[in-house]
Amino acid sequence: MSFISVDAASDFSYQNLPYGVFSTSDNPRHRIGVAIGDQILDLSVIRSLFVGPVMSKQQDVFDRSTLNAFMALGYEAWSEARRTLQTLLSASESTLRDDVSLRSRAFVHQSAAMMHLPADVGDYTDFYSSRDHATNVGIMFRGKENALMPNWLRLPVGYHGRASSLVVSGTPIRRPCGQMRPDQTKPPVFGPSKQLDIELEMAFFVGGGNSLGEPIPINKAHEHIFGMVLMNDWSARDIQAWEYVPLGPFLGKNFGTTISPWVVPMEALLPFAESNPIQDPEPLPYLQHQDAYTFNINLFVSLKGQDMTEAVNICRSNFKYMYWTMKQQLTHHTVNGCNVRPGDLLASGTISGPVSVCMHSILSALLITDWFCFMNTHTHKI
């Protein structure tokens, strides 16, 4: 328990403690904070309290405007920082609890804060790791007998997305324009997309990357996975359908990708790890790992249109249905010597499943005023 009062229905329990970047009207500087209850703990104010063997020499990372420098420190630093935060926020620890002056400077009410992108994202890769989703899409295009491409069960399929158009939740997305060919008997036309779609995904931030030419082995992959966010992969399906052959997503995807402002550290999610899916055929040795790295995270999407008084649930699923794990995604990404850097973002692809309830339909000419997507792992939420 914490000395900070946390409502039982709060997204931000003492066991969660996600990281984010925020500012306030009276202090526009971007600062790193940790959410607990309805409060944000400003780490730039309490950075001198990080006195462990690693973080005592790295306190300046909490004075930065993004999480990149903290992510770069690696697994031991993240674990030590989390232990320090849990100690400082515990009901029995007096250092922060009893210092009225420090508390008044260190805590900000979430309602008074503006959230920003948590990291400077240098590169962004979107995978395609839901077997159910890949199968459904394949059936639509190739029929049941050839639903999955020959490589899909052998490696995590992905594409390189556009990092510059990643935005934090709440940022307006403008309907994209581009070439489309709605009538296959006529030449393409130019105009605004009429088939704007959304994709429920999750993504993880890379920390403590690797040098060019030095792959990250599967048994070390967890040391390079900092934490997770929710993601909405906006997709202009009519633009995508005309352009994607033969090289894949381009203008149909690069106009905007939304992520949640709070990054849940992997240590907060480990209690919800489950056995990995059975993979048949067996992956090549470099992709094999026995430790559980599949996470039971309930997900849903609610949609509220311009003339709607209430949001309507249109999708429910669970992250545990992913076929390829995050460790496999990261290891495959670097197996050819590709270097990843702190703050790089790797996304799951659309999350579907055998029991998903999903209206994965095109939002034709719908003006979206709000898009809500919450992650719930019992008391752990983004």
pLDDT tens for each residue of 326-337: 999 999 999 999
* pLDDT at 356 (0 to 100): 54
State the average pLDDT over residues 256-261.
Answer: 98
Contact 326, 292 (CB under 8 A): no
Give the whole-number percent of the chain exceeding pLDDT 90.
86
State the average pLDDT over residues 250-258.
Answer: 97
- Look at 193 and 382; give whichever has higher pLDDT: 193
- Look at 371 and 18; give whichever has higher pLDDT: 18
Highest mean pLDDT among 94-108, 129-143, 243-257: 94-108
Q: 364: which strand partners? A: none
The pLDDT of residue 374 is above 80 = no
Residue 76 CA to residue 252 CA, distance in Å, equals 40
Quote the longest CA-to-CA distance of the chain.
74
Residue 315 CA to residue 353 CA, distance in Å, equals 11
Mean pLDDT (the chain) is: 92
Residue 185 CA to residue 291 CA, distance in Å, equals 53
> Would you tell me how many other CB atoms lie within 10 Å of the CB of residue 207?
28
pTM: 0.92
The pLDDT of residue 190 is above 50 = yes
Residue 339 CA to residue 373 CA, distance in Å, equals 31
* pLDDT at 357 (0 to 100): 54
Q: What is the DSSP string of 163-196?
A: GGGEEETT---PPPEEEE-SSTTS--EEEE-S-E
For the stretch 261-272, pLDDT in tens is 999 999 999 999
* pLDDT at 146 (0 to 100): 87
User: Phi first, then psi: what are they for 260, rounded to 5°?
Assistant: -70, 155
Contact 173, 132 (CB under 8 A): no
Residue 323 CA to residue 348 CA, distance in Å, equals 10
**Structure confidence at residue 311 as a pLDDT band (50, 70, 90):** very high
For the stretch 229-241, pLDDT in tens is 999 999 999 999 9
The pLDDT of residue 360 is above 80 = no
For the annotated catalytic residues, the residue numbers are 133
